[in-house]
Structure 1
Amino acid sequence: MATTPVPAAAKSASPPPRSILRDSAFLRLWAGTTASGLATWALPFVLGLAVLHRDLGAAGLGLVLAARTAGFLVAVTVGGVLADRHSRRAVVLWSSLAAAAAAPLLAAGLGRSLLLMAAAAVLAGAGQGACRPAFQALTAETVAPERRQRANAAMTLAVRSSTLAGPALTSLLAAFLDTRTLLLGIGLLWLVAAFVPGRGVGAGAVPAAGSASDASSPAVAAARPGFRTEFLDGIREARRHPWFLAGLAALVAVVTLGYSATGVALPLVSRDRYGTAWVLGASTTAYTVGALGGALLVARWRPRSQGWAAFAGLAAYGVAPLSLTLPVHAAVVVAAYAVAGVGIELFNVPWFTATQREVAPDKLARVSSLDFLVSYGLAPAGLALIAPAIGAFGVTPVLAVCAAACFLVPAGAALVPTARHFARTPSAGTG
């Protein structure tokens, strides 16, 4: 049968997709997420300034940061269940308000009551932890599937830019404001995170079970399973996606061994091999700049085998510990950290996007909470293990083992079924 040709004008009649940065709903979400990320980063930095000003001792700083981490790890699990059970926007609101309330308590306890500061740090960590999976799920509700990779890249660009510019800005503010005022400023950032984001518009998502659309039904409330059951449902959903479990295993290796090893070893190598703190500062800055470049690249790049490309990016972190084992010029170390930064975002952005696409919408926050639990929870454990290992075996052997793990574990994860496209079906991962 003959077909009528489509006029060229008709083919181009549909308007090009609007930029994600012109979407007001996304911009509100982006602003809230950025404010929460900046507040999360700023707290340990401002507390470090308190140590410099002798308002807080080194032991007190360790206790407060440990309390914050404990609050985060507990709340990120609870927050994942709550964000799937109730409105994701409501979870963002109340968790951000909790973190905001912690700021004046920290300011009140500074120099007066370490116990009050530790309790406030638990509250701050709980707010930070509970909002992470809720923000992740809210992104899936706000942004259409075909635009989520650019949206996640924009989120990453904001976070990395804050990390790059934040120390200089905070140091500048510290010249005019005392530490208590800076802590109150962190509380204001959390208020932005609480009130600026809008409700999800349901772009490509279905309402979460027990969300605001059906939570008022007595039948639903009576039939709702318990917290443990819902959390285990999230684990079962994660197990349905072999690529997700493989990615978590690769993250365990890179975070626990690679990231923690370089965090401990880079200051030592900078001091002992190069005799200057310049290498430490330049390498950490190069890592952030590389991550910015990686986010810009992945905002537009769509490789045919997205999962394999992402795992290759994650494995690239291994060049950072490898450079510290070799007697190379300091510029090589700095360049290696830049490569590691690019690679980490080549993994992160497709990883978040695939999770939002592949995981059942009513279980997305719970599955995301597992991701954050691994990413944030294992870093302190790695730091606790790496330092004694370096003391027992030396810097070079420990770094060599960590570099090998960073290369080999992601390579093994890439061989897992469904890992090539971060999708259970190849067509889903190539859009």
Structure 2
Amino acid sequence: MSVVTPPSVLRDGAFVRLWTGATGSGLATWALPFILGLAVLHGDLDPVGLGVVLAARTVGFLAAVPVGGVLADRHSRRGVVLWSGLVAAVAMPVMVFGLGRSVALMAIAAAVAGAGQGACRPAFQALTAEIVDGDRRQQANAAMSLAVRVTTLVAPGLTTLLGAFVSVHALLFGVAVLWLTAAFVPPQGKARPVDDVPARAGFFTEFVEGVREARRHPWFVAGLVALTCVVATGYSATGVVLPMVSRDRYGTEVVLAAATTGYAVGALIGALLISRWRPAAQGWAAFASLACYGFAPLSLLLPVHPAMIVAAYVIAGLGIELFNVPWFTATQREVAPDKLARVSSLDFLLSYGLAPAGLALIAPAIQEFGATPVLAVCTVICFAVPAAACLVPSARGLTTKP
């Protein structure tokens, strides 16, 4: 392995603006479910309504991710970020109006906000490649990931704290301000040649071109399969089983809170570490790190001390970041620049999109077969699929170049 120390990307004003905008979108994304949870506690929304609104947001996100990918390759990435942020921001006052009046109106607003969130993700990913040079992209992606992890830790507590002093309506307007930050603060990327409108193919054709570009990189396909399997099984299984284990095996919610926090702390450490670590076989190291998520369902499978569960979640969080950052960096480096947003949209569509599907299927599977066999299968998948991905020839360095 080798360690390099490129100039800090945090001294680059353009990147700092991009990081600020991405952090704003991350805070807005993570804060909304907790704000709506406060609305349930205050009696402005019932639990069924909360489920409907959050489901609508997920649908909006999944529908918009491929659209955002095509638009970000077709037009200015900065423009897509701007309009995505504005769309999400405008949805918040509508949600405020519907709060306590109409769940249907809130669901529509949540779907629109989810669409803004989904459309901006591939655009931010491609905009990072435009603004940051190749030598510093891993550091930049680590800084982006760091913001996400800090947001994960801060957003729940900050939202709850603010909820003690201001109304849910005011908090929703605060989310709108965060989306406006995401819309207006990021800088313009490098100018790219744009084809004449009549010469452009249709949306579906352009999206298929992105799929073809992804297939040109076997390491990307293998990594996407591995990540999707880990998220759809390991992440979903632990999301369902961890609260049960915390309550039934240990008789306290502390294990749940400690393990969840441990995961975020592990990911935070991983983002800090990978900002400077450059393993020689980067792909193998990334897939081995991804496989570390298997320790999470394994710890729930065995009657271990609660500290072992927390440690397993710290390792899982550490591993997921040691995978994510090189994965994003390799995608930005290897994929054709004019197709980068579309390929990135495939990543978000499958890895994020199958998480709700996994959650929906895991609970019935546990009821039918029991938690032990389900956790065992998920553990095997989390360890085996990333290991199998390492067998792809281009996986070693996450590149098809000799």
- Which TM class, normalised by the smaller chain length? over 0.9
User: Are the equivalent residues in 1 in contact too, given 2:214–2:221 (CA < 8 A)?
Assistant: yes
Q: Secondary structure at the match of 1:101?
A: helix
Distance 1:271 1:425, change over 3 A: same
Q: Is the aligned partner of 1:336 residue 2:316?
A: no
| Cα-to-partner distance string for 1:73-128 (whole Å, 9 max, x where unaligned) | 11001000000000000000001100000111111100001111011011001000
Correspondence for 1:66: 55
| Displacement after TM superposition at 1:397 (Å) | 1.2
Cα RMSD (Å): 1.0
| Displacement after TM superposition at 1:18 (Å) | 3.3
| Structure 1 residues not aligned, in runs of 5+ | 1-15, 208-212, 427-431
**Aligned mate of 1:118, from 89, 96, 107:** 107
Q: Is the aligned partner of 1:148 residue 2:137?
A: yes
| Cα-to-partner distance string for 1:125-159 (whole Å, 9 max, x where unaligned) | 10000000000000000000010000000001111
What is the TM-score when the length of structure 2 is the normalising length? 0.98
**Aligned mate of 1:214, from 176, 194, 202:** 194
Residue identity opposite 2:219 in structure 1: W
Correspondence for 1:167: 156
CA–CA separation in structure 1 for the residues paired with 2:200 and 2:387: 41
**Aligned mate of 2:238, from 262, 270, 273:** 262
| Structure 2 residues not aligned, in runs of 5+ | none
1:300-319 superposed matches below 5 A = 300-319=276-295
Q: Based on CA coordinates, which of the two structures has the bigger radius of gyration?
A: 1
| Displacement after TM superposition at 1:214 (Å) | 3.4
| Cα-to-partner distance string for 1:233-273 (whole Å, 9 max, x where unaligned) | 00000000000000111012101100000000000000000
Residue identity opposite 2:194 in structure 1: D
CA–CA separation in structure 2 for the residues paired with 1:366 and 1:170: 33
Correspondence for 2:12: 23
1:16-415 superposed matches below 5 A = 18-201=7-190, 207=192, 213-214=193-194, 220-415=196-391
Sequence identity (%): 71
Distance 1:119 1:298, change over 3 A: same
User: Are the equivalent residues in 1 in contact too, given 2:74–2:194 (CA < 8 A)?
Assistant: no
CA–CA separation in structure 2 for the residues paired with 1:221 and 1:161: 41
CA–CA separation in structure 2 for the residues paired with 1:17 and 1:158: 20
CA–CA separation in structure 2 for the residues paired with 1:20 and 1:186: 27
Correspondence for 1:9: none
Alignment size in residue pairs: 398
Q: Secondary structure at the match of 2:393?
A: coil
User: Are the equivalent residues in 1 in contact too, given 2:6–2:136 (CA < 8 A)?
Assistant: no
1:7-22 superposed matches below 5 A = 18-22=7-11
CA–CA separation in structure 2 for the residues paired with 1:183 and 1:252: 32
| Displacement after TM superposition at 1:17 (Å) | 5.1
Higher relative contact order (CA 8 A, sep 6+): 2
What is the TM-score when the length of structure 1 is the normalising length? 0.91
